[in-house]
Structure 1
Amino acid sequence: MNTKDTIIAPVTPPGEGGVSIVRLSGPSSYYLLEHYFSPTGSVEKFSSHRLYHGKLKDDNGAIIDEVLAVYMAAPRTYTCDDVVEIHCHGSRHIVRIILDLFQRAGVRLAQPGEFTYRAFLNGRIDLTQAEAVARLIHSSSESSRKLALSQVDGGLSQKIYYFQRAVKKLLVLVEAWIDFPEEDIPGTDIQQIRSGVAALVEEVGRITSTYSYGRILSEGLSVLLVGKPNVGKSSLLNFILGEERAIVTDIPGTTRDIIEEGIVIHDIPVRIFDTAGLRNSDDPVEMEGIRRAQKKISEVDLVLLLVDSSRPLDQADLDALDVCRQYPCVVVKTKGDLDTCHHNYDFSQFTCFSVSAKTGAGIKELINYIYEYFINDPSSVSDSVLLAERRHYESLISSLANLKKALQLIGQDEFLEFIAFELREALFYLGQITGETTTEDLLGEIFSGFCIGK
């Protein structure tokens, strides 16, 4: 990818609206603004970070649109290169004409995430901050927004850099004694290395333990409703959502595919999946829905297995209970407003709730349980140092393993070269988090998930 040319992309979503914004970044940005933009009034030279009113014209001088334009001079820009933004009327057609105009002038359409990628390459942000930008754009709750924003501001980066400095300091001390093999390393230096590595093991371990909570804040929970047909899955989904999202009838097999809906529970995003009822069927469409439901059981954070409290358990219920016992599962006894039937089954290994989608009884308690099941004690975790990316978690786990190995080697009086190797490996994995030791393929994979205008 050429990172020195001038790129362009719309930075507002496609569609009609009051205003759309088109962004250019690169060395030709200022020249192109002068060439195609005619400001209202007399302007000899565009000042940086100032908004100008005027007309955008094509190569023949025909007016394309009445716009606002701003020039931002490097390096005080998002990409650290010259940046120009055109604020035009929010028409898909106008945006398309503007993009075509600048592309004919030699500007290249930006690839997904390329503006942020250039900010990373130019040292404005590190890789953890770049990834947090994407999470901030997609944040769906206040907690996910705060977590992403803290990492855009460098909360996690500062912690990783602290770990790197600490490891480098210990590595310098170890390598200093490697250069003098004929001398015995003093006990005070051995103790300094041991205590330093032990402190890092404790601190890095504390950060890795936040991943589960951080992932929940960022991505949300996934909850799957399963059970045989007509057990009340769709009714429960509709009640939780407060709207008629799923079709509810007395006809078994109404839901034939997975329905996904999102809600927020105590500021935690939750994705709820309603599935086809589990039973034997000759209908190929329904059977495909059942197959998808069975596959989804192993992919979600929590399964809500629904059984009808007003009817005896049948083989379909027993089969579902047998499958779900292998996964995090809560049994929900539905239709609590009807006369209950005694179930001759030992539910002791499951947490059970009795609910009614008709009266709402028990549903609030179920929702609170889902939250408490995953969150436990959020007050014990600092928002600024939560891990939300699996990539960060895996790199820190690898770094932690090397630090633990180094600590073990110190206790066994092993050669300093082995200890130095483990410390270097720990540094390598820490560098993967911030982007210092990250491969081009991984960078491409990360930034390809961004939207084009960011």
Structure 2
Amino acid sequence: MSDTIVAIATAPGEAGIGIVRLSGGESLEILDKIFVPTRGESIKEYKPRRLTHGKIIDPKTNQIIDEVLVTYMKAPYTYTAEDVVEINCHGGIVPVRKILELVLRCGARMAERGEFTKRAFLNGRIDLAQAEAVMDLISAKTDKSFDVAFGQLEGSLSKEVKNIRESILEMMAHITVNIDFPDEDIEEITYKELQDSANSIYERIEGLLESAQTGKIIKEGLHTVIIGKPNVGKSSLMNALLKESRAIVTEVPGTTRDIIEEFVSIKGIPLKIVDTAGIRETEDIVEKIGVERSKEFFNKADLVIFVLNASEPLTDEDKQIMELLKNRQTIILMNKTDLPMVLDEENIRKILPNKKIIKISVLEGKGLKELEDTIVEMVYGGEVRQKEVSFVTNVRHKDALERAKTSIQEGIEAIRQGLPLDFVEVDVRNCWEALGEITGDTVGEDVIDKIFANFCLGK
């Protein structure tokens, strides 16, 4: 990592400020070739973490490129733990591009995707889980997903994983001593002590895994589909949740013929909510395509919101949809309760006995708060939300935890059967190494490259 890298750190397009970021041992020297401070300071007088005003000038033509503010940050107290320079120029495609081209011409190379964060990891400033949290922070869609990502960036998950690994390491040390020095005057570890330690490790790993489903939803959103026959109020419900008129609402059945997708935050939980075409038999070719797409989204959904018209009895169309819901996470809404009630709740429970049923009137805004509370309760499972837990939001982390859990389970079984300590040691070490993949302590270079390839340029 002796070379100096550069990238545009701000989003493309017109803006008040554009930032060109350099990192590496030659950052200051490259800056000195193109930057003329207003007060005429020499390169040795640049004070770290202070803005210096001046102009970027092409050294070949002496042409002024832009008026800028420059920040020099001295290693190791920087994002990458290397010397870093940030050039704050006028926002816009042209000035930023011109300065980037000038920096490249003066000796820097274009940064790869995520290379600034990769250098922070390789230089030991952050671990791999913290590095991955950077992208989660950038892509956070709600306050809650931001808080979880920021907690991971601060090391909440890493700390818990490292604590578990330390417990495993202590266990491995006892096992190794008893294997390597059986005849020495060393306190012999008992299988009961081993089992207690292994069970404790298993429970801590299981605790992290229990947060994975909630963590995945917080990060990616709860894929929610609104279904029902035509004209029961699906589009009105979506508009009410979004608090805007996104879907067309009319008295004519079959108005929604395509899929409408939007993100909405329900008390910090991102919902990727889909308003579908009403499911019914139809001869209209366009509506028929919409119905088929509705069924596709239904099959992929994490949560189904099934809307019924409370002012009508159950129809055959309703019952056909209900048959599809028996094994799905579902909330049933009896809408239009502002009209005379005809639909009998008991008839719904005969077909779907264990589903949550909420009586609402989208027109009058009744029942919407209860719907939101129910969604929150389903996501957090009642208990998880109230605990101070490190949510697992990353598929790679979950996979590593699953393998760690399997290994410690096999170790517990080996202990239970009284197998030689050599067998136990292999399983315990496998668990320790799997957990190390989360923080990057035991991960291969190919995995590291793959992770940072998903980052944006300039980060």
Shift of 1:106: 4.3
Aligned-residue offset at 1:378: 4.0
2:225 touches 2:305 (CA, 8 Å); kept in 1?
yes
SS at match of 1:17: coil
Contact 1:174 1:416 in 2 (8 A): yes
What percent identity do the matched residue pairs reach?
40
Give SS of 2:16's match. strand
Alpha carbons 1:128, 1:156 under 8 Å: kept? yes
Q: State the alpha-carbon separation in 2 of the partners of residues 128 and 239 from structure 1.
A: 38
Shift in CA distance, 86/382, structure 1 to aligned 2, threshold 3 Å: same
- 2:244 & 2:189 partners in 1: Cα distance? 69
- Cα distance in 1 for residues equivalent to 2:167 and 2:108: 45
One-letter amino acid of the counterpart of residue 236, structure 1: L
- AA paired with 1:29? S
Alignment correspondent of 1:18:
16
Q: Trace 1:326-365 onto structure 2 (pairs within 5 A).
A: 326-342=327-343, 345=348, 346=350, 347-365=352-370
User: Equivalents in 2 of 1:68, 1:12: separation in Å?
Assistant: 15
Where 1:359 maps in the other structure, the secondary structure is coil
| SS of 2:126 mapped into structure 1 | coil
What is residue 118 of structure 1 aligned with on the other side?
119
CA offset at residue 330 of structure 1?
1.4
Encode CA deviations 1:340-383: one digit per residue, 9 max, x unaligned.
33465534332212222211122222222111222213454214
Q: CA deviation at 1:39?
A: 0.6
- Counterpart for residue 280 of structure 2: 279
Deviations 1:178-228 (A, max 9, x none): 224678996544444333222222222222222233333333433211112
Partner secondary structure for residue 159 of structure 1: helix
Using the alignment, how far apart are the partners of 1:66 and 1:91 within structure 2? Answer: 13
Tell me if the contact between 1:208 and 1:396 (Cα under 8 Å) persists in the aligned partners: yes
Q: What is the alpha-carbon distance in structure 2 between the residues aligned to residue 279 and residue 185 of structure 1?
A: 76
> RMSD in angstroms over aligned alpha carbons?
2.3
1:25-64 pair list within 5 angstroms: 25-44=23-42, 45=44, 46-58=46-58, 59-64=60-65
Contact 2:236 2:247 in 1 (8 A): yes
- Which AA in structure 2 matches 1:161? K
Could you tell me which residue of structure 2 aligns to residue 107 of structure 1?
108
Query: Which residue of 377, 381, 406 maps to 2:387?
Result: 381
Q: Which runs of 5+ in 1 are unaligned?
A: none
**What are the equivalent positions in structure 2 for 1:403-442 lying under 5 Å apart?**
403-442=408-447
Instruction: State the Cα distance separating 1:54 from its structure 2 match.
Output: 0.4
The 8 Å contact of residues 258 and 273 in structure 1, kept in 2 or not, is answered as yes
Aligned residue for 2:315? 314
Indicate how the Cα distance of structure 1 residues 53 and 210 shifts in structure 2: closer, same or farther if over 3 A, else same: same
- SS of residue paired to 1:418: helix
Contact 2:414 2:423 in 1 (8 A): yes
Kept in 1: contact 2:178–2:188 (CA 8 A): no
Q: For the Cα contact (< 8 Å) 1:210–1:381, is it kept in 2?
A: no
Match of 2:135 in 1: 134
Q: Which amino acid in 2 is paired with 1:251?
A: V
Q: 1:120 and 1:193, CA in 2 relative to 1: closer, same or farther beyond 3 A? A: same
The Cα shift of 1:171 comes to 1.3
Q: SS where residue 125 of structure 2 aligns? A: coil
Change (3 A) 1:400 1:359: same
Paired AA for residue 419 in structure 2: E
* CA shift digits 1:224-248 (9 cap, x unpaired): 1111222211111111222111111
CA 1:284–1:66 in 2, change beyond 3 Å: closer, same or farther? farther
Matches of 1:107 and 1:291 in 2, distance apart?
53
Alpha-carbon shift at residue 84 of structure 1 (Å): 1.0
Given residue 378 of structure 2, which amino acid in structure 1 is its aligned partner?
Y
Matches of 2:51 and 2:236, distance apart in 1: 53
**TM-score, normalised by the number of residues in structure 2:** 0.91
Which residue is equivalent to 1:241?
242
Q: Is the 8 A contact 2:211 2:384 kept in 1?
A: no
**After the TM superposition, which of the residue ranges 274-283 and 239-248 deviates more from structure 2?**
274-283
Change (3 A) 1:378 1:201: closer
Give the superposition deviation at 1:36.
0.7
Partner of 2:210: 209
The 8 Å contact of residues 298 and 327 in structure 1, kept in 2 or not, is answered as: no
Contact 2:191/2:418 (8 A) holds in 1: no
CA distance in 2, matches of 1:289, 1:275: 7
On the 8 A contact 2:71/2:87 being kept in 1, the answer is yes
Which of 6, 15, 31 is matched with 1:8 structurally? 6
- Structure 1 CA distance, aligned partners of 2:119 and 2:105? 23
Spell out, residue by residue over 1:243-284, the C-alpha distance to the aligned partner (whole angstroms, 9 max, x if none).
111111233333233222222222322222111222234555
CA drift of 1:315 comes to 3.3
Rounded Cα–Cα distance in structure 1 between residues aligned with 2:157 and 2:251: 52
- In structure 2, which of residues 379, 392, 398 is the aligned counterpart of residue 393 of structure 1? 398
The size of the alignment, in residue pairs, is 451
Question: 1:175–1:33: structure 2 CA closer, same or farther, 3 Å change rule?
Answer: same
| Cα contact 2:69–2:88 (8 A) shared by 1 | yes
1:137-286 map, 5 Å: 137-180=138-181, 188-286=189-287
Relative to structure 1, is the Cα distance of residues 388 and 247 closer, same or farther in structure 2, using a 3 angstrom cutoff? same
Structure 2: where are the runs of 5+ without partners?
none
* Partner of residue 325, structure 1: 326
Name the structure 2 match of 1:299.
Answer: 300
> 2-side partners of 1:96 and 1:284: how far apart?
50
